[in-house]
């Protein structure tokens, strides 16, 4: 099982604590063991087979699709105030948390904004929570936005992208610890290909198709 590099320090801490507990008391060590195994599983980074085809927008995260709404992208991205279709994916603490690029294109702008840590399943989390927003220009000239949003427990957003970087659909670009949300603001004319409540997988599930 592949482990994301962000996870090794946490896994090491959990392992050391677990070993100490086993020395103190075998019973306590076994009680703590599921937490250590959960930590390892949380940072797993499985390979994915990304669908091929023109105009596909792929899920950037594992999780459950929340209600589809129409909302303007984060103002700090400079994409205007016109509402766009927003697809939101909620990741619980048992999902894979490695994020992947939803489409081929170029990173036009990155914008970090501090904020609150409201439960990421709530709609207001998109507006008020800490976030890292990414504006991506697609190969057909359209644009979309991907927003990493911190949650109730999450306190760390990691984004490896750079402005001007060329990105490819399905490539890894970051991770959020520990339970969070990703929003995708679609270009005009994109057709949604998923249903509310559907379980989606980063790098595999087709979220939408460009018109």
Residue 102 located in a structural domain:
yes
Residue 17: pLDDT band (50, 70, 90) is very high
pLDDT tens sequence across 89-147: 998 888 888 999 999 999 999 999 887 766 666 677 777 788 999 999 998 889 999 99
Query: Which residues face 112 on adjacent strands?
Result: 132
SS (H, E, C) 90-133: EECCCCCCEEECCCCEEEEEEEEECCECCCCCCCCHHHHECEEE
What percent of the chain is modeled with pLDDT above 90?
60
CA distance 188 to 119: 29
Task: Write out the residue range of the structural domain in which residue 61 sits.
Answer: 56-209
Mean pLDDT of all residues in 83-91: 94
What percent of the chain is modeled with pLDDT above 70?
94
Q: Indicate whether 129 and 204 sit together in one domain.
A: yes
pTM of the model: 0.86
Residue 211: pLDDT band (50, 70, 90) is confident
Residue 50: pLDDT band (50, 70, 90) is very high
Q: Indicate whether 11 and 112 sit together in one domain.
A: no
Q: Indicate whether 10 and 93 sit together in one domain.
A: no
Q: What pLDDT, on a 0 to 100 scale, did the predictor assign at position 59?
A: 97
Query: Which residues face 132 on adjacent strands?
Result: 112, 148
Buried/exposed code over 126-164 (b: 16+ C-beta within 10 A; e: otherwise)? beebbbbbbbbebeeebbbbbbbbbbbebeebbbebeee
When divided into structural domains, the chain yields a total of 2
Give the residue carrying structure tokens 């992947």.
100
Residue 49 located in a structural domain:
no
Q: What pLDDT, on a 0 to 100 scale, did the predictor assign at position 153?
A: 64
Q: What pLDDT, on a 0 to 100 scale, did the predictor assign at position 154?
A: 56
Please list the active-site residues. Answer: 180
3-state secondary structure of 84: strand
Q: Indicate whether 71 and 160 sit together in one domain.
A: yes
Which two three-digit tokens encode residue 140? 């057909």
């Amino acid at each position: 099982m592949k482990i994301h590099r962000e996870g090794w320090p946490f896994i090491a801490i959990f392992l050391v604590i677990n070993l100490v507990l086993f020395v103190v008391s075998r019973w306590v060590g076994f009680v703590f063991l599921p937490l250590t195994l959960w930590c390892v599983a949380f940072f797993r980074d499985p390979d994915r087979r990304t669908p091929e085809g023109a105009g596909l927008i792929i899920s950037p995260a594992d999780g459950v699709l929340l209600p589809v709404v129409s909302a303007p992208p984060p103002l700090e991205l400079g994409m205007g105030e016109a509402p766009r279709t927003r697809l939101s994916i909620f990741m619980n603490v048992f999902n894979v948390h490695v994020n992947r690029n939803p489409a081929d294109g170029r990173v036009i702008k990155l914008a970090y904004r501090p904020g609150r840590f409201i439960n990421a399943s709530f709609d207001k989390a998109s507006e008020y929570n800490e976030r890292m927003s990414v504006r991506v220009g697609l190969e057909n000239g359209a644009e979309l936005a991907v927003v990493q949003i911190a949650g109730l427990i999450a306190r760390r957003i990691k984004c490896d992208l750079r402005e001007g970087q060329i990105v490819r659909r399905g490539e890894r670009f970051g991770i959020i610890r520990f339970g969070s949300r990703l929003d995708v603001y679609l270009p005009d004319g994109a057709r949604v290909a998923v249903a509310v409540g559907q379980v989606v997988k980063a790098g595999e599930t087709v979220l939408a198709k460009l018109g």
